[in-house]
Chain A
Amino acid sequence: MWSILSILVENKPGILFKITHMFRSRNFNIDSISVGVTDDPNLSRMTITTYSDEKQTKQIVKQLDKMIDVLEVEQLDEQRTFYRELAIFKIHISDANASMEINKLAMTYGGKVHNVRSKSVIVELTATPHQINSFEDIVRPFGIINSARTGVAAVERSTS
């Protein structure tokens, strides 16, 4: 089961280490992680995604909640959550046709094309992890020279 956890923590040095170390020491795994300061400079929000069964997920939430620097932890409902990840792909292009095709694919996925050169192109994509995986599969035959992903950032959608 893929879960999105939203964790509000004290914005202090070493918190990221403590959180990630809890996952390692308790034998859990992190699928993706993103961290950023909130509108309150004393607080940061971490978004962690993880693959685990229901029992493990509950335990992860409890272990996070137990940590003194964690102010809130919430397992977000995927259907009621707006979540995105940023991915950047540097893709090999053999000719102008390939360049055009990648441009078209990027547009289809709502991506942006940067730094077009004779041998490569950079595509920036902000989408769900599933969409990014799908794009990656499609462009793989062109040859992915390099790629980087940020991990998911998420907020719950408004209920009203």
Chain B
Amino acid sequence: MVDMSGAEALMHSLKNEGVNEVFGLPGGANLPMYDELYKSDIRHILVRHEQSASHMADGYGRVSRRPGVCFATSGPGATNILTGIATAQADSAPMVAITGQVPVEMIGKDAFQESDIIGMANPCVKYSYQPRDPSLIPQVVKNGFYIAKSGRPGPVLIDIPKDVQQNVAPMTFPKNHNVRGYNPWIKADPKDIESAANLLLSANKPIILAGGGVIISQAFAELSSIAEMLVIPVVTTFKGKGSFSENHPLSLGPIGMHGHAEANKIMTEADCVLAIGTRFSDRSVGTFEEFERDLSIIHMDVNPAEIGKNQTASVAIVGDVKDSLQSLAKVLAVKVVKRQETEWLKHVQETREYWHENLKIHPGEMSSHHILHKLRDVLPPNSLVTTEVGQHQMWASLFFDVISPGTFFSSTGLGTMGWGFPAAIGAKVARPDVPVVDIAGDGSFNMTENSLATAVLEDIPVIVFLINNYSLGMVAQWQRTFYDRRMIGVDQKHCPDYVKLAQSYGAHAIRAESLDEIERALKDALSSDVATVIDIPIDPEEDVLPFVAPGTSLKDMILPS
């Protein structure tokens, strides 16, 4: 036991958890912890807005699979960070957010820069703590990291009053967590595994639907092994994009509102779905009624509450996805002698070829299709890709093939504009050895572009691949499609000039107006040691197609005319 202040104990605890970087912004209520940060060897990465701090921690967490840490002060600092916390919760990203709070005796008095961040954050955190005694900090941090990274990962908020940071108390640093009401390590029931194997083998038209859970548990090899053993097609949710290599012959890519036509078509014809680590989001499945046909669903998830929440399962397998898939593969290996190419697989392949040949794409050279194929051609397969939120994100879903599993990240649950660029910075901090590209749209990038200051000053050379239609493109598309072209609030004209903007921050900036220029710009950016913005103007009228309108079934997708 040793006497130290709460803030000192916090830094000590963070080091014990292996934290080497934090993303944040100082303010009045977190100055004691910043003063201790000054003395520590933890790298502080200064943001220009707390929302970006939480998105950076989110990107760091998704890539490293260790909780990303962000700091904010009380009141507006804490409320600013909340969007990033909610985003991490929606996409099950491990994060520990640490906010300053007014002193204990001022809590509830409407003090300057006081906000009830614990109350506000309740629905969008996995758990939260507000230690009122400095001696509690070591255990709170130990528990917080354990909760954030285990089971279905998520954000944990630790809100520390200023006097608790300042006051000195005897500290004991625990080796173990003590969270008695939390047991994330559920082992799949062998009977359910057996039932699932039998159901898959008796199905005529089976399919695998892989969700984000596959990426979180890094179950790529297990997924491939089962798909190949059964010789069945794999579709993904958007969150699960890249959980299965998209150049694999059995891959049909993402389903859903902005899924591949062939993936949506085949999904509506399947008679048995092995759904892995997915919550059957409305964006993925259209209407839930679609799944009420004669269809067996095997639902595998680490979270028991996901079973039956949106979709009733014929067989439920609760447990870590990687572990469950390993068990399933063992059972299948005994039962499967040799699978022949089935009529179903032949039909799947014909359907894919049909849509590849017949789907009309935007004719211009600078269409999203060509631009994203060019990006794919030039980028090394192991590059990490984030996206902003909007049309470009959905074009990425459609046209950018993820080759190395687990290298694609997007705000799919909350759909947070402004996520991609700071998340890319966090990703690059976690993996400085690989290229990191943010596929951006102008509307979304504009929300957190001030993170360019962070990228430049902190030497974090990410690439912003900015598909610029000078508008809030997705909203514009909906206004064109569903509101009879009554266009309002979507035109961003030519302001700002992203090349000049990036240069003003000291970043490298290139405007690319042809595919050749894009290729040159990308090669330039990949060899650059400074953050680079590649501004790519496109036709503002280009739509994302195919498209499943909200509230409609996958089979009612709108196709390019």
Interface set of A (CB-CB < 8 Å, partner B): 9-10, 14, 17-18, 21, 25, 55, 58-59, 62-63, 65-71
Contacts and interface: CB of A to CB of B under 8 A. Distances in A.
Contacts of A62: 304-305, 307-309
Interface string B289-317: 00000000000000111011100100000
B127 interface: yes
5 contacts: A59-B308, A62-B304, A62-B305, A62-B309, A69-B181
A59 B311 CA distance: 11
Given A14-B118, A21-B123, A71 B305 contact: no
Given A18-B122, A59-B308, A59-B309, 19 more contacts: A9-B181, A10-B181, A14-B118, A14-B119, A17-B119, A17-B122, A58-B308, A62-B304, A62-B305, A62-B308, A62-B309, A65-B304, A65-B305, A67-B181, A68-B147, A68-B181, A70-B181, A71-B180, A71-B181
Given A10-B181, A18-B122, A59 B305 contact: yes
B182 interface: yes
A27 B268 CA distance: 29
Contacts of B304: 62, 65-66
Given A14-B118, A17-B119, A21-B122, A68 B308 contact: no
B179 interface: yes
A63 B182 contact: no
B448 to A, nearest CB: 27
Contacts of A68: 126-127, 147, 179, 181-182
Interface residues on B, range: 10 to 19
Interface of B: 118-119, 122-123, 126-127, 147, 179-182, 303-305, 307-309, 312
Contacts of A25: 123
Contacts of B303: 66
Nearest to B305: A62
Nearest to A55: B308
Nearest 7 interchain pairs by C-beta:
A62-B305, A68-B182, A71-B181, A66-B305, A25-B123, A68-B127, A63-B305
Nearest to B307: A62
A68 to B, nearest CB: 5
A17 B118 CA distance: 11
A25 B123 CA distance: 7
A69 B147 CA distance: 12
A71 B312 CA distance: 26
B150 to A, nearest CB: 11
Nearest to B156: A68
B322 to A, nearest CB: 20
Contacts of A17: 119, 122
Nearest to A61: B305
Nearest to A25: B123
A156 B430 CA distance: 52
A63 B181 CA distance: 13
Contacts of A71: 180-181
